[in-house]
């Protein structure tokens, strides 16, 4: 009976679809960029080589906040998968 519950628990698990990233975007004077379009470039490196890279565009909130999900876009810039 324990095995049945364990197997059912494994089936209920989901694979993450990306890495959540949240930040306040600021200018060179440390002031939040409010209601502005921003482009973020995310890179993952192995030693000094880029193995994955993607660019995302978003609009900051009234306090400069943006939210992204890294790895959850349709077009990949450098690599289709991690090695």
Express each pLDDT in 26-76 by its tens digit.
Answer: 999 999 999 999 999 998 899 989 988 889 999 999 999 999 998 876 544
Q: Is 54 exposed, middle or buried (0-12, 13-18, 19+ CB in 10 A)?
A: buried
**How far is the C-alpha of 50 from the C-alpha of 77, rounded, in Å?**
10
| Model pLDDT, residue 23 | 94
Higher pLDDT, 5 or 53: 53
Task: Determine if the pTM surpasses 0.85.
Answer: no
Mean pLDDT lowest among 7-16, 41-50, 74-83: 74-83
């Amino acid at each position: 009976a324990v095995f049945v519950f364990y197997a059912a628990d494994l089936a209920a698990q989901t694979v993450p679809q990306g890495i959540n990233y949240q930040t306040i975007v600021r200018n060179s004077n440390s002031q939040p960029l409010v209601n502005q379009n921003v482009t973020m470039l995310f890179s993952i490196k192995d030693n000094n080589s880029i193995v994955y890279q993607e660019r995302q565009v978003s609009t900051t909130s009234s306090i400069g906040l943006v939210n992204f999900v890294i790895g959850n876009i349709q077009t990949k810039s450098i690599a289709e998968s991690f090695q």
